[in-house]
Amino acid sequence: MDANARRVNPVFCTIVPPHVLDKLARAEDPAIAGPAARTLEHDALQRTRRRITTVRGLAPSVSGTVSDKPDRTIYDAGHQETVPGTKVHSESDEPAKDATVNRAHAGLGATFDLFLKAYGRHSIDDSGLPLNATVHYGEKYGNAFWDGERMVFGDGDNDLFLDFTLPVDVIGHELTHGVTQYTANLEYFSQSGALNESMSDVFGALIKQYSLGQSADAADWLIGAGLLGPNVTGVALRSMKEPGTAYDDDVLGKDPQPARMEDYVRTGRDNGGVHINSGIPNHAFYLAATALGGNAWERAGRIWYDVLTGGELSTTARFTDFARLTVAAARARFGEGEEQEALLKAWSQVGVPTN
């Protein structure tokens, strides 16, 4: 292994949780159950394959000076379950006729911009990693995922789920799994897995806010707004402001996310509830960011980034470990002031000790 390589676990991470797809796969309407079952089976198979080949070395993608510009390439799977597919768009190309291709290109760029301009990070690996994405994956595939190397987008069924390139925070969420993969490499199980998911929601939300020029007070704090079909009773996949309220639908079910540790969900499914219990650290971030006000990526986001990349966060970290490190990071960067106080209060409100 290269001396600069890191030992990582490139897990298979999706934006739509397994518990949602499982609910849909049991629907009476075959037009709903069929695509959901195929998506669920696909995702389960991919997770199994990732577990078989879990540990590998990832070296920095380039040496020397890295560019302050992204290097994006979009591929088209042509509704097959193959990656990368046919190359359809490069960095220097004019906008494509396919709106999905253009949205994928723009979302990769928005993610690159937030990490570079707010935190000085050059792409996912901080060494200028090219950003690749595959669109039009599968037949009515109802998900988007980071597979350890690229972003992959399904088109949805145009009923429950629309095109997965529509919400920029979905793109940011999945690419942030790559950032986590190259930094803290949080194990995708139980509380460390929920922290992994929460990191992606936090930076997905920040990418949306940065691209829109929104302050913490103006943001909706929703993950996946615009993804749900017009007949779904819901507004998004998750809410950082009010976990558990993103949707309540006869077909999708009810958003199960808790906002406090007293409601922590103990389950053997979804890798120990990684998409469910992420609501707790998500809400802590929302509380801290809105208490501080202004642009959330400047102070609260900076603290979260410092912890993610600082080298002290264990791969098996629990919520209390992460909370303690955020308070320490706030003190180290900003001193003993309102940032530290906002963090202490936020973690207290969600029931997570900081010592």
1 located within any domain = no
Query: Is the same domain home to 203 and 314?
Result: yes
- The answer to the question of residue 168 being in a domain is yes
- Confirm if 350 and 261 have CB atoms less than 8 A apart: yes
Burial of 238 (0-12, 13-18, 19+ CB in 10 A): buried
Question: 255, 242 in Cβ contact below 8 A?
Answer: no
| One-letter amino acid for residue 179 of the chain | V
pLDDT score, position 46: 64
Catalytic residues: 174, 275
Question: Residue 101: pLDDT band by 50, 70, 90 thresholds?
Answer: very high
Tens-place pLDDT, residues 248-303: 999 999 999 999 999 999 998 888 999 999 999 999 999 999 999 999 999 999 99
The Cα 32–Cα 75 span in angstroms is 27
CA angle 320–308–186, rounded 5-degree value: 70
Residues 163 and 194 in one domain: no
User: Residue 54: what pLDDT?
Assistant: 34
3-state secondary structure of 327: helix
Domain match, 50 and 168 both: yes
Q: Are residues 173 and 245 in the same domain?
A: no
Q: Which two tokens stand for residue 129?
A: 């990693």
**One domain, residues 118 and 263:** no
Question: Looking at the structure, do residues 28 and 176 belong to the same domain, yes or no?
Answer: yes
> Residues 27-81: pLDDT tens digits?
777 878 777 777 867 766 665 444 433 333 344 455 456 889 999 999 999 999 9
Beta-ladder partners of 228: 161
Same domain for 196 and 176, yes or no, is: no
Statement to judge: residues 22 and 148 lie in one domain: yes
The reply to whether 202 falls in a domain is yes
**Which CATH number fits the domain that encloses residue 252?**
1.10.390.10
Structural domain including 60 reads 6-182
Residue 160 belongs to a domain: yes
Write the pLDDT tens digit of every residue in 195-220.
Answer: 999 999 999 999 999 999 999 999 99
Q: 170 and 150 in one domain?
A: yes
Closest CA to 35 of 137, 106, 186: 137
Pairing of strands 253-254, 238-239: unpaired
The verdict on residue 355 lying in a domain is no
The predicted pLDDT at position 20 comes to: 77
Q: Are residues 203 and 175 in the same domain?
A: no
Domain count, the chain: 2
Query: Are 277 and 261 in a shared domain?
Result: yes
**Rounded Cα–Cα distance for residues 339 and 335 (Å):** 8
189 C-beta neighbours (distance < 10 Å), count: 16
Instruction: Out of 146, 163, 182, pick the residue that ends a domain.
Output: 182
Is residue 71 domain-resident? yes
Question: 354 lies in a domain?
Answer: no
Nearest CA to 280 out of 200, 345, 352 is that of 352
pLDDT at residue 45 in the model: 61
Beta strands in the chain (DSSP E): 6-8, 13-14, 56-58, 72-76, 86-89, 131-135, 144-146, 151-153, 222-223, 238-239, 248-249, 253-254
Q: What CATH number should be reported for the domain holding residue 164?
A: 3.10.170.10
Q: Which of 164, 182, 200 is the last residue of a domain?
A: 182
Instruction: Answer yes or no: do 260 and 345 share one domain.
Output: yes
Please say which residue of 157, 182, 207 terminates a domain: 182
In sign, the C-alpha dihedral spanning 203, 204, 210, 214 is negative
134-187 pLDDT, tens digit each? 999 999 999 998 888 899 999 999 999 999 999 999 999 999 999 999 999 999
DSSP string over 61-120: S--SPPPSS--EEEEE-TTSS-SS-EEEE-TTSPPPS-HHHHHHHHHHHHHHHHHHHHH-
